């Protein structure tokens, strides 16, 4: 037997004795295209550009109108009014002016109180909402009006000779001392009312006083308070200082000597 025929039979395959060119076999494999696989497609450059523009303009808008990420940036009581008149020297806009307490209170009233008491302050007799215009509560002392705003009101109440009792007013102490003071100042000086201003210090003192008062006030509770009772800590009827101005010092008490003039001789006994 030949030496080539001496190989074991278990090592002889079906292609035993055949010869193939390795390059031809690999060339056939290279001609075959790779099967597509879902999820590995390249992202379009147009889509990348659109995403980049969206991120750019979104960041620019957020930086311009973010309101410094402040919780009260859209609060109507803190947004100043804009002046569109000519600025110093002719053109341009004047700097924004700070709102007065009554102007801030008007915004707070429009957002929270006008639904029931109406923008005219006349209320609604059919729905049981008492008027604020000409009311003895808003025109009297500041204490009763502040009590109602802070703790709310329930039950019948008589205003301007008419009885109102079908509606319940919720407490508004969650507004904060400044907003409560502003809305009370607005209500006491609008629609022909002649009440004095209310300060946030007065509301803060009343808040501490009513801290343990659990329920809303009733008509008898208000009737027990004198009509001219004012909140402590403020001069009733005094006009509030304008923004940027300090309150003028009051007159010296009676019986006190006037301030001494520099260089003047002291009075003889």
Distances (CA, A) of 29 to 26, 35, 38, 63, 214: 5, 13, 22, 57, 88
Q: Which two tokens stand for residue 109?
A: 């009233």
Phi, psi of 54 (to 5 degrees): -65, -40
Coil/strand/helix, residue 245: coil
Asked if residue 233 lies in contact with residue 181, where contact means CB atoms within 8 angstroms, the answer is no
* Cβ-Cβ contacts under 8 Å for 162 (sequence gap 6 or more): 125, 130
Q: Which two tokens stand for residue 252?
A: 């010296």
- In b/e form, how buried is each residue of 218-256, taking b as 16+ CB within 10 angstroms? ebebbeeeeeeebbeebeeeeebeeeeeeeeeeeeeeee
Asked if residue 181 lies in contact with residue 198, where contact means CB atoms within 8 angstroms, the answer is yes
Q: Which two tokens stand for residue 222?
A: 């208000």
Pairwise CA distance, residues 111 & 77, whole Å: 9
What angle do the packed helices 142-151 and 177-189 form, to 10 degrees? 130
pLDDT score recorded for residue 23: 78
Pairwise CA distance, residues 232 & 217, whole Å: 20
pLDDT score recorded for residue 162: 86
pTM reported for the whole predicted model: 0.56
| Domain annotation for the chain: domains and CATH numbers | 101-222 (1.10.760.10)
Q: Which two tokens stand for residue 122?
A: 């006349």
- Digit-by-digit pLDDT tens for the chain (269 residues) are 455 555 555 555 555 555 667 777 777 777 777 777 777 777 889 999 999 999 999 999 988 887 666 665 556 555 555 555 555 555 555 556 788 889 999 999 998 888 888 889 898 888 888 899 998 988 888 999 999 998 888 888 888 888 887 667 888 888 888 999 999 999 999 999 998 899 989 999 998 988 888 788 888 888 888 888 888 876 554 444 444 444 444 344 444 444 454 454 555 54
pLDDT score recorded for residue 218: 85
pLDDT score recorded for residue 99: 86
Listing DSSP states for 83-124 in one string gives: --SB-TTSSSBPPPBPPPHHHHHHHHHHHHTHHHH-TTS--B
pLDDT score recorded for residue 55: 95
Task: End-to-end CA distance of the chain: give it in Å, rounded.
Answer: 158
Strand-pair partners of 57: none
């Amino acid at each position: 037997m030949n030496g080539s025929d001496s190989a074991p039979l278990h090592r002889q395959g079906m292609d035993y004795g055949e010869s193939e060119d390795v390059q031809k076999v690999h060339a056939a494999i290279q001609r075959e295209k790779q099967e597509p696989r879902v999820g590995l497609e390249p992202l379009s450059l147009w889509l990348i550009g659109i995403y980049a523009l969206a991120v750019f303009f979104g960041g620019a808008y957020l930086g311009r109108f973010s309101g410094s990420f402040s919780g009260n940036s859209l609060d109507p009581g803190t947004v100043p009014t804009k002046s569109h008149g000519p600025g110093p020297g002719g053109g341009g806009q004047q700097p924004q002016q700070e709102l007065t307490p009554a102007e801030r209170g008007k915004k707070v009233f429009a957002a929270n109180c006008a639904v029931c008491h109406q923008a005219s302050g006349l209320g609604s007799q059919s729905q049981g909402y008492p008027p604020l215009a000409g009311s003895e509560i808003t025109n009297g002392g500041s204490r009763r009006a502040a009590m109602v705003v802070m703790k709310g009101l329930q039950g019948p109440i008589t205003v301007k000779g008419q009885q109102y009792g079908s509606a319940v007013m919720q407490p508004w102490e969650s507004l904060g001392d400044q907003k409560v003071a502003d809305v009370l100042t607005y209500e006491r000086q609008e629609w022909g009312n002649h009440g004095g201003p209310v300060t946030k210090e007065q509301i803060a003192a009343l808040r501490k006083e009513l801290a343990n008062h659990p329920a809303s006030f009733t008509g008898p509770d208000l009737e027990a308070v004198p009509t001219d009772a004012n909140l402590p800590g403020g001069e009733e009827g005094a006009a509030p200082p304008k923004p940027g101005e300090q309150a003028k010092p009051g007159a010296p008490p009676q019986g006190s000597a006037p301030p001494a003039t520099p260089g003047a001789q002291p009075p003889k006994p």
